[in-house]
Structure 1
Amino acid sequence: MSEQSSVERERVTDTELLAKYEELYTPAIADVLHEYGHEEQTLDPQITPLEDGMNVVGSAFPIVGRPNRSVDADEVLGRFLEMHEDVPEDGVMIYDTNDTTSAHLGELEVTSLQPSGVAGAVIDGGVRDTSVIRDRGFPVFNKYTSPVDCIFRWELLDWNTDAVVGGVRVSPGDIVVGDGDGVVVVPQEIAEEVAEDAHDMATSEDAVRDALEEGVEATEAYEEHGTF
């Protein structure tokens, strides 16, 4: 952890903070979180990008639901539409579905959400209409795919509330970062400090990489730059 993290830093806007995270990769963020004592901030590794190369960065918008085959489909749909109106620009819809069979996101939802600037979705659950979603380039990280619509068998309980997704506690406004290595959640209260320290770590790793490519021994590179 850098010395900067123990002192007050100049506050930045949400847009500026997200821009900093867009320049980072999840391993650096996870390493810094470990140094901060937050060792369990990476989601279940079964939650992966819908397509290779997909990345997502945004502010957490947690969604909570559960299987329920007694639901009224019209009521569920109405709640979904209401929930969609609350997702902020740059928000990442991050789902605690408690489900293993239904699809919780599909083509029409993505078509509705994408023009509003929603950053993407992370689903401890399922997605369908995958070819269309890939074509639209909407970032989705999910556990499985399924053609089964959740509207008929799943209850949307609450949104923009605390949740546990993929084994990680997530609160509204936390920073969600996903790439090919997985999805990590940064608690909002330390998000600025983590971004600064992760940038420092990435810079050090770049220096080590350059040294190794120039033929410097690994031990020497580590001793000079303090990371490996």
Structure 2
Amino acid sequence: MAARRDTDRTADDGSTRERLVDAAVAVLAEEGPAEMKVRRISDRAGSSTITVYHHFGNVGGLLDAVVVRGYATLTGTLEDAAASNDDPGVQLFAMALGARGFAQRNPHLYDLMFGLSPRGTYRASAPLVPQQYFREAYAVLVRSCHRLVTAGRVDIDDPEQIAAQLWSLVHGFVSLEAAGHFADHSDPVASVLAPMAVAQLVGIGDDRARATRGALDAYATWTATAVE
């Protein structure tokens, strides 16, 4: 044990910190939030338990770092969706598909990020810190909503208001799908998410044909990428 601690002391701090976050992400993905324990994570990282306390204060601090990692990944996913097409309607539906895909690949992480699962017996060490990173992901959505507004496609002139409605719509769909409520749908995106998103855009003033075409274009690109 002493030898391992000596190794920890001589390792680069950034490298050790990232290794612990990697280990925590892996334990969360494979075993769920109940196993997010200092001993379990430090063993996975090949470190001592004291290293967790040194870098994060406690396991709550480490969980905050996991949440930050999750939001960074989600932000990248949304940015890729925004870059996939010049049409803001296509961008927004591509973001919905990206967020859904992220949640499906990382169900425990998604739940932890949005407070849908407990952190075991641990409390967040700084509840407002993850909110900052949520805002970075959310800002990608707001920018595409701003493009929708400046293009004159909707009646609402506040992109933040549009983004809040769309985020709520997608988050609700993702959460219900994860809970198995759409298990009887052969394609929940086609039968639930797409029509709901189109109806939302039409409800704030977009043309139905254009909104539908944007959803179909994004869905076709997503399907082709999934097949590849």
TM-score, length-normalised on structure 2? 0.26
- Higher gyration radius (CA): 2
Higher helix share: 2
TM-score, length-normalised on structure 1? 0.26
